[in-house]
Amino acid sequence: MLAESILGTVNCIAEIKDKQAGAWIAFILAILIAFLLWSLYFDMTSEQETKKGYTYMQVFIGLHFPLLASLGVLGACLKIIMLDLINVLPNNIQWMFCSALSMILFMIIALTKVMKEEEEDRAYIMPVSRQLIYVGIGILFIPLVGENLTTIPFMGIIALVLLIPVVTGMRSWVKYKFFQ
């Protein structure tokens, strides 16, 4: 997941002929978005096993299909978004990007429902899951209100919105680990 996002971003920046400051800012924002998604996915699902039973494993596998498809859409949109830094982003690209991103967040939440949780995991997963629902819905509103956004403001808003649950998760984990 992280490797594909970074590789796609690097390929995008490589195709830009005139790499001015805007191209590098877009590159940094794209890498930041990739790392934030990576952080959310692995912090919410790693070091946990699925609940016992064949059905849970099948659901776990099945939830990865829309997650991976959404990552593919995100990557394809990212290439289009980064190649035109000056003009207003087409609304259909914004919708595709935001829909795919929301789907990734919703699949992460769904994956946590088939995972076994220990107390430490719950301390992180519960507050972040609630926020991811709101963040996923909020991201779907960006194309409605951001019809005049160019690449850098669009990606900046996405990065800031994704930063909220990551910071919440870190705060929750630190609070549990050190102040419990």
Count CA atoms closer than 13 A to 1's CA, side-chain side: 19
Count of structural domains within the chain:
1
* pTM metric for this prediction: 0.89
Q: Give the burial class of 177: count Cβ atoms within 10 A of its Cβ; 0-12 exposed, 13-18 middle, 19 or more buried.
A: exposed
Q: Which domain holds residue 71?
A: 2-179
Residue 30 and residue 78 in contact, taking contact as beta carbons nearer than 8 Å: yes
Buried b (16+ CB within 10 A) or exposed e, 100-126: bbbbbbbbbbbbbebbeeeeebebbbe
Where do the DSSP E strands lie in the chain?
A: none
Percent of the chain with pLDDT over 90: 44
DSSP assignment of 75-96 equals: HHHHHHHHH-SSSPPPHHHHHH
Q: Does 78 score more than 90 pLDDT?
A: no
Segment 80-113, tens digit of pLDDT = 888 888 889 999 999 999 999 999 999 999 999 9
Segment 121-152, tens digit of pLDDT = 777 888 899 999 999 999 999 999 988 999 99
pLDDT of residue 66: 95
Segment 15-70, tens digit of pLDDT = 666 768 878 888 889 889 988 999 999 888 876 788 888 998 999 999 999 999 99
